[in-house]
Amino acid sequence: LMDRRTFIRVVGGGTAIAATQTELIPSVLGGLQNAMAFDFTRELSSVEARHYRKLPGGGIECEICPRHCRVTDLERGYCGTRENRKDVYQTLVYGRPCAVNIDPIEKKPLFHFHPGTTAFSLATAGCNVNCKCCQNWDISQSRPEQTDNLNLPPADIVEVCRQRKVPTIAYTYNEPVIFYEFMYDTAELGHKKGIKSVMISGGYVEEKPLAELIPHLDAIKIDLKAIRDTYYRDYVDGELKPVLERLVQIRKSGIWLELVYLVIPTLNDSEAEFKELAQWVKGNLGHDVPLHFSRFYPQYLLKNLPPTPPATLERAHAICRAEGLEYVYLGNLPGHPAESTYCPACGKMIIERQGYQIGAVDLADGRCRFCNHLIPGRFA
């Protein structure tokens, strides 16, 4: 195994390192394999988890997410990443990401958060839900012993970002709540070194853990799967109510928030649902929270359904704009005008986008350059 100093030198300088010291797996590293060297390990972590309680008579109850798994000795919770070892609940994925990459921040998507910048993105195995449309099911529905994991503790992640001038760390691809301790410590250390953190989540988390985490984050993007609980029960293996409660909590905290709604033909794509969604967002989160409608492509357990027709997405966009939402976007439609940001006061384009690429940005101190209207977000 290479030592930390070698790791940081290699990652920071982008130089090669002997194959005997490290190996590169493109499926894990995305586009980083030509620029970075990493340490792989078969050893899982054994760090004590947070937010659990010991039960009378033995066993523990996890209090991270609404499932409240009750776990006996040597058993794991639903997510497969937390194990009871003699009534000490331990996370098996601390410092053990199975996927890392440097992405445009627009890929998260976060459109009102430092546009045109990059994020060091990471994920571990596991998830606390089972979305039948999951595009990352190969890691989210795996246990950590089934994936190729990096030995990458928080300090090394932060140093990578510092050396390569990546301003943000993104906890993404799977549900970051299941690697809460790893995310918390990385975000906390990142702030001390001037590195921002964003959580890309389904919002299936309890109030207290989220409240403790928020001060160490800079933005949160929530995937709101649907506005009907039946969808959550049938296609997510979860519940809607806790997610809506967390959205309100996030908004009240003052941290930057954006929403994504994956539009799936026949399942959550009715005009009534779009209208209900818009009214709920406006009434509970405000008219200026960015809402992204994303196009579905057949995958995982929903390969029987067709891709979302562009006209359906455009109808969702029109309904939400008519209901008073000011920043509504369409995703997975490269080149569509609704990828860009328009000033709600004067109507002019103020952030031009083509896919994940940024064109003209007509903002000055967070205001529209044409009419001086204040645009919500984090732009400085």
Each residue's pLDDT tens digit in the chain (380 positions)? Answer: 333 433 333 343 332 222 222 333 333 444 454 445 678 999 999 999 999 999 999 999 999 999 999 999 999 999 999 999 999 999 999 999 999 999 999 999 999 999 999 999 999 999 999 999 999 999 999 999 999 999 999 999 999 999 999 999 999 999 999 999 999 999 999 999 999 999 999 999 999 999 999 999 999 999 999 999 999 999 999 999 999 999 999 999 999 999 999 999 999 999 999 999 999 999 999 999 999 999 999 999 999 999 999 999 999 999 999 999 999 999 999 999 999 999 999 999 999 999 999 999 999 999 999 999 999 999 97
Q: Is the domain of 85 the same as that of 212?
A: no
Domain end: 29, 56, 91, which one? 91
Q: Are strands 118-123 and 168-171 parallel, antiparallel or unpaired?
A: parallel
What CATH number does the domain containing 132 carry?
A: 3.20.20.70
Q: Is the domain of 84 the same as that of 228?
A: no
- Across 249-283, b (16+ Cβ under 10 Å) vs e yields bbbeeebbbbbbbbbbeebbbeeebbbbbbeebbe
Q: Is the domain of 229 the same as that of 142?
A: yes
Q: Is the domain of 147 the same as that of 170?
A: yes
Q: Is the domain of 79 the same as that of 150?
A: no
Q: Is the domain of 283 the same as that of 303?
A: yes
CA distances from 101 to 31, 122, 153, 196 (A): 6, 7, 15, 16
User: pLDDT at position 36, please?
Assistant: 58
Q: Is the domain of 78 the same as that of 147?
A: no
The structural domain count of the chain equals: 3
- Across 101-133, b (16+ Cβ under 10 Å) vs e yields bbbbbbbbbbbbbbbebbbbbbbbbbbbbbbbb
Q: Which domain covers residue 312, as residue numbers?
A: 99-339
User: pLDDT at position 341, please?
Assistant: 99
User: pLDDT at position 22, please?
Assistant: 30
User: pLDDT at position 17, please?
Assistant: 24
Does any domain span residue 33?
no
User: pLDDT at position 24, please?
Assistant: 31
Q: Is the domain of 291 the same as that of 361?
A: no
Does any domain span residue 326?
yes
Which residues is 149 bridged to in the sheet?
41
User: pLDDT at position 37, please?
Assistant: 63
